[in-house]
């Protein structure tokens, strides 16, 4: 029996979010936390449980492929996990994306989405040949519900295979249809620690891309790691400035970081 495809997004006060887990994905807890902090209801679902019960996607508004090391990057980052989805959930995922839903792939999740062909391009070994954890500055260049009202943002990256590869033709199309979500740029963090703007040799400095309809976002940087003020490399300096202005630092531990906005945008897509 063919399921009915709902075309319009669900209007709800509390959107349902599924954060996938299993086989070495490892950022599911903090990604869930970020969505909940932004006002959603998130549950972590093991990929094998979704295979057994794909109807879970029927009531899901936002699907997140979190960061991690699915299958240890063996056979190429994101490949083995993508194969698993292709073998078992191809149709269901297609149906989910056909509805007016949102989807995000972060880091390893982005690698999975490109391997699935849901997002254009591919990700491969960093030019430096090494895994790297540092912060980057991003300029928002795409159009998407995820990115509403954000112009620039600084986030951490942590990956070995984050170099974005795309052919010229596809790139032109991506650019034309506002599907390049972010590009690396020289911003406050690069200036602060004297770092190269592009950490991995990504073509055209691309850090994230969107699906044609803007509802699927894939990005190498980790938005769930900048949900608190104290996570930025600049926070000690900024705290000192606050102190000298005579401002209270009592609530600093709960002060939110810039990227909560990305998660809030996703929630507000359904609530507003």
Partner 1 sequence: MISRLYILPKIKDSREKIYMASWRALGIKGKVSSVQILDSYTIDSDLEDADLQKIGRLFSNPNIEEFFLNELPSKIKFKNAIEIGFLPGVTDNIGNTALETLYDFFQVDKNTNWKVYTSKIFLIKGSLTKIDLEKIVFSLHNPLIESSAIINNGSLSIKVPKVILETKELVKKVSLKVSDEELEKIGKEGILDENGRRGPLALDLDSMKVIQKYFFELGRDPTDIEIESLAQTWSEHCKHTIFANPIDEITDGLYRTYIKGSTKIIRQKKGKEDFCVSVFSDNSGAIDFDDEYLITHKVETHNSPSALDPFGGAITGIGGVNRDAIGFGKGAKPIANTFGFCVGNPNDTRSLYKGKNKTQKMLPTKRILDGVVKGINVGGNCSGIPTVSGFIKYEDRYRGKPLVFAGTIGIIPKKINGKNSYEKEAQVDDYVVMVGGRVGADGIHGATFSSVTMDSNSPATAVQIGDPITQKKLSDALVKEARDMDLYNSITDNGAGGLSCSVAEMAKECGGAEVHIEKIPLKYEGLTPWEIWISESQERMTLAVPKKKWEVFKKLMDSRGVEATIIGEFNNSGKCIVYNNDKKIMDISMDFLHDGLPEKDLKTTYIQKIYKEPQLPKNSNRTKLFEKLVGELNIGSFAYISEQYDHEVQSSSVLKPISGEGRINTDAQVLKPLLNSKKGAVVSSSLYPFYGDISTYDMSACAIDTAIRNIICAGGDLNTLALLDNFCWCSSNEEFRLGQLKDAVKACYDYSIGYNTPFISGKDSMFNDFKGYDENENSIKISIPPTLLISAISVTNDISKTISPEFKEAGDCIYLLGDTDQELGASEYYRMLANEAKDIELIGNNVPKVDWKKNSLIYNLVQSAISKELLSSAISIHSGGLAIALAKSCVGGMIGAKISLKDFYGNAVSPDEKIFSESQGRILVSIDPKKAKIFEKHFSNISCKKIGNVSKDKKVVVLETNNKKFIDTDIVKLKKAYHRFSNTQ
Shorter beta-carbon distance to partner 1: residue 85 or 181: 85
Angle between helices 79-98 and 108-115 (to 10 degrees): 70
Size of the site for partner 1 (CB under 8 A): 75
| Of the candidate residues 53, 94, 212, 243, the single one contacting partner 1 (CB under 8 A) | 243
| Of the candidate residues 40, 67, 208, 214, the single one contacting partner 1 (CB under 8 A) | 67
Shorter beta-carbon distance to partner 1: residue 4 or 253: 253
Q: Which listed range, 2-10, 118-126, 204-212, 261-269, lies at the site for partner 1 (CB under 8 A)? A: 118-126
Interface with partner 1 in residues 40-59 (CB under 8 A): 46, 48-49, 52
256 binds partner 1 (CB under 8 A): no
* DSSP run (H or E) holding 16: strand 16-21
Residues paired with 182 in a beta bridge: 140, 208
30 binds partner 1 (CB under 8 A): yes
| Of the candidate residues 41, 56, 252, 260, the single one contacting partner 1 (CB under 8 A) | 252
Told to judge if 224 belongs to the known catalytic residues of this protein, a careful annotator would answer: yes
> What are the residues whose beta carbons fall under 8 Å from the beta carbon of 6, sequence distance 6 or more?
99, 100
For 190, the 3-state DSSP assignment is helix
- The end-to-end CA distance of the chain, in Å, is 33
- Copy the structure tokens of residue 236: 């000690």
Catalytic one of 107, 125, 161, 190: 107
DSSP letter at 25 equals B
Interface with partner 1 in residues 168-227 (CB under 8 A): 192-194, 201, 222, 224-225, 227
Shorter beta-carbon distance to partner 1: residue 55 or 98: 55
Q: Where are the alpha helices (DSSP H) in the chain?
A: 28-37, 47-52, 79-98, 108-115, 168-176, 188-193, 235-244, 260-271
Q: Which listed range, 30-38, 92-100, 138-146, 209-217, lies at the site for partner 1 (CB under 8 A)? A: 30-38
Told to judge if 30 belongs to the known catalytic residues of this protein, a careful annotator would answer: no
DSSP letter at 6 equals P
Per the CB < 8 A criterion, the answer to whether 62 and 17 are in contact is yes
Interface with partner 1 in residues 70-99 (CB under 8 A): 71-76, 79-80, 83-84, 87-88
Give the catalytic positions in this structure.
107, 222, 224
């Amino acid at each position: 029996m063919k399921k009915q495809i709902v075309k319009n997004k669900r209007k709800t006060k509390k959107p349902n979010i599924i954060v996938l887990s299993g086989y070495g994905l490892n950022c599911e807890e903090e990604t869930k936390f970020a969505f909940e902090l932004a006002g959603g209801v998130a549950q972590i679902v093991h990929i094998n449980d979704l295979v057994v019960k794909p109807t879970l996607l029927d009531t899901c508004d936002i699907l997140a492929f979190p960061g991690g090391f699915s299958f240890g990057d063996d056979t190429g980052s994101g490949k083995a996990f993508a194969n698993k989805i292709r073998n078992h959930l191809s149709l269901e995922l297609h149906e989910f994306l056909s509805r007016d839903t949102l989807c995000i792939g972060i880091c390893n999740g982005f690698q999975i989405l490109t391997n699935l062909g849901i997002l254009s391009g591919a990700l491969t070994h960093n030019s430096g040949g090494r895994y790297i954890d540092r912060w980057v500055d991003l300029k928002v260049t795409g159009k998407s519900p995820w990115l509403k009202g954000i112009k620039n943002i600084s986030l951490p990256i942590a990956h070995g295979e984050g170099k974005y590869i795309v052919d010229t033709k596809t790139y032109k199309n991506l650019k034309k249809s506002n599907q390049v979500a972010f590009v690396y740029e020289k911003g406050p963090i690069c200036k602060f620690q004297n770092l190269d703007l592009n950490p991995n040799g990504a073509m055209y400095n691309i850090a994230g891309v969107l699906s044609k309809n803007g509802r699927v976002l894939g990005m190498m940087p980790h938005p769930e790691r900048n949900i608190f003020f104290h996570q930025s490399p600049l926070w000690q300096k900024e705290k000192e400035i606050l102190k000298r202005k005579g401002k209270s630092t009592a609530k600093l531990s709960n002060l939110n970081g810039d990227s909560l906005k990305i998660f809030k945008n996703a929630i507000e897509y359904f609530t507003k």
